[in-house]
Amino acid sequence: MTTAAPPDQGEIACPRCGATVAGDQDWCLSCGDGARTRVVPTPNWRLPLLLAAAVSALALIAILLAFVQLTRDSAPVTTTTTAPAATVPPATTLPPAATTVPPATTLPPATTLPPAATGGAPTTPAPTTTPQGALPGSTSPAPGATTTTP
């Protein structure tokens, strides 16, 4: 079985630079461009890229809306927190309310002894009672306390 040789196509001019390309050559030896092959231009990717971008944008918007819907508070949630018990200082006891002070007792008038006629001992006044705990210049005694002073 014999294989058939490709048909001789003859010489042609390079479409890019115009140099002569032999019949058995597929590429130009001057510029390197394909002389006998047809180079198809790349397809236009603009429309598919725009469609993919639009679908991606719609999906992103849908995800964001779902996120907002799920995280929105539809009803206010009331939370109760208990504060730790505050320590209250112990209440201070106040002194009893002032009661009516009993009237001051009148002291009997001081008596003096008659002077001694001749060379007697000097006379001393009788002892007087003063209220214990009374303030200086005050005539009201503390209830139930008296002292004797000579």
Q: pLDDT, tens digit, for every residue of 72-122?
A: 887 666 777 777 766 766 667 766 666 666 666 776 666 776 666 555 555
Instruction: Give me the domain span that covers residue 22.
Output: 11-37
Does 124 reside within a domain? no
Does 42 reside within a domain? no
Can you give the pTM of this predicted structure? 0.28
- What is the number of structural domains in the chain? 1
What is the predicted pLDDT for the residue at 65?
A: 96
Does 31 reside within a domain? yes
Does 101 reside within a domain? no
Give the residue carrying structure tokens 């214990």: 132
Neighbours of 141 (CB within 10 A): 19
Q: How far apart are CA 147 and CA 135, in angstroms?
A: 14
Q: Nearest 5°: CA angle at 53, between 50 and 59?
A: 145
Per the CB < 8 A criterion, the answer to whether 145 and 131 are in contact is: yes
Q: How far apart are CA 19 and CA 30, in angstroms?
A: 7
